Amino acid sequence: MFPLPPLSDEQRAVIDRAAALARERFAARAAKYDAESAFPYENYRDLHQARLLALTVPRAYGGVEADPITYVHALREIAKGCSATGLTFNMHCTVTGLIAALGTEEHRRRYFVEIVERGALIASITSEPEQSFRDKYVLQTVFRPVPGGYHVAGVKQFCSLGDAADYYFLTGVVEGTTSARDGVISAIVPRTDPGVKVEGLWNATGMRGTISHTIRYDSMVPAANVIGEPGALFNIDLSGFALGYAAVYLGIGEAAFEFMVEYARTKTLKPATEPMSHHPLVQRTIAEVGTAIRAARLLLHEAARVRMTGDKEATMLVVNQAKTYSADVGLMATERALRLAGGRGILKDLPLERWHRDALAGPVMPPANDRCLETIGKLLCGLRAATLEFQSPRPLAVYR
């Protein structure tokens, strides 16, 4: 409904391809995935066939190598069709960026070729029970050095893509290290590893199709599967996760806003003789939501543009602004759309209650909005800030 800033023909073609899939295929399937808490396998087959599964894979390996601007708008369109597909797609695409930044040439050839040719999916696995990114994060998943690699043991929570992933980009801490910067490390663990066990099935209010199960890892990881040296994650830009979340939750809000406008234009409630759009209160609601949506889109676009410059501090500021604002706008838009529809809004035959449930996750996804605001405030006051912080655990032998 709102025009995008100027884009190249190549950028627009990718975004349009994503929008067409979301509109023509994903939207019709979304309710089923939600009701069954089922992974959107069909959507991922479509993404693979459209070459979008390799959206962030470098061209040298057969991928699209989309820039951040193209990526966020394509992701926003995908989320408009299916929230769970958008959220899990962001995890997969962000991890491919981490492999590109930290992996060896052998890693890139192996995993990128699998994504391009076979449609392999890679999940990002960091969150753990009883931990929170709102403070310094204490990883309890331990990488214990053994001949030939590491023995990895720990329990991970909110594992989006669950057992649908082909590989897990698993993050923990090396046993015996005294600081997170010296000890935080990541490795690729295949889903087929006998030490990978799903312990808790995902049963959430929203984002049900992400199947973000709880998974226990008790695996031998060869040294060849380790991605980067200990502490290497702290040397690269990790803002891709939060930038993607901004796009996803804005996309959900946009879907609700577009539904709201069409509903108001076409729905007449007796004894009125004109559609709801003629009522001043409805007009006010649409105006407020539409203005917030447009502002969030512009902020998202600016965040992607700044990320392309490589300015780490400027990126931290605007990405945190985009994430917290888009998450709030997505939740507000779905709630206002539901209220505008009245009692019909809570019925399952309309998508409004599903969008609202999905949007509930936005403000609490790390970096949670409270943490985003703290980071923004520190930066604007000229203070040192970090979106995510890790701390080494004591004792490290808890999962031996």
Which residue ranges make up each domain of the chain?
9-119, 125-234, 237-380
CA distance 305 to 104: 28
d(CA 232, CA 236): 7
- As a three-state string, the secondary structure of 171-210 is EEEECCCCCHHHHEEEEEEECCCCCEEEEECCCCCCCHHH
82 and 104 Cβ atoms separated by less than 8 Å? no
Give the C-alpha separation, 302 to 70, whole Å. Answer: 12
Contact 237, 309 (CB under 8 A): no
pLDDT of residue 400: 26
CA angle in degrees (0–180, nearest 5) for 105-221-145: 110
Amino acid 124 reads S
Question: 367 preceded by cis ω (within 30°)?
Answer: yes
pLDDT at 114: 98
Q: What pLDDT tens digit does each residue of the chain (400 aa) get?
A: 789 999 999 999 999 999 999 999 999 999 999 999 999 999 999 999 999 999 999 999 999 999 999 999 999 999 999 999 999 999 999 999 999 999 999 999 999 999 999 999 999 999 999 777 777 778 999 999 999 999 999 999 999 999 999 999 999 999 999 888 899 999 999 999 999 999 989 999 999 999 999 999 999 999 999 999 999 999 999 999 999 999 999 999 999 999 999 999 999 999 999 999 999 999 999 999 999 999 999 999 999 999 999 999 999 999 999 999 999 999 999 999 999 999 999 999 999 999 999 999 999 999 999 999 999 999 999 999 988 877 766 543 332 2
Q: Any idea how long the chain is?
A: 400
What is the structure's pLDDT at 394?
A: 54
User: C-alpha distances in angstroms, 230 versus 180, 272, 318?
Assistant: 9, 67, 28
pLDDT for the residue numbered 395: 44
Q: Are strands 149-159 and 142-146 parallel, antiparallel or unpaired?
A: antiparallel
CATH classification for the domain delimited by 125-234, as one of 3.40.640.10, 3.60.10.10, 3.40.50.12780, 2.40.110.10: 2.40.110.10
Peptide bond into 271 cis (omega under 30): yes
369: phi then psi, degrees, rounded to nearest 5: -55, -35
CATH 1.10.540.10 is right for the domain spanning 9-119 = yes
| CATH assignment of 237-380, among 3.30.70.3270, 1.20.140.10, 1.10.2020.10, 1.10.760.10 | 1.20.140.10
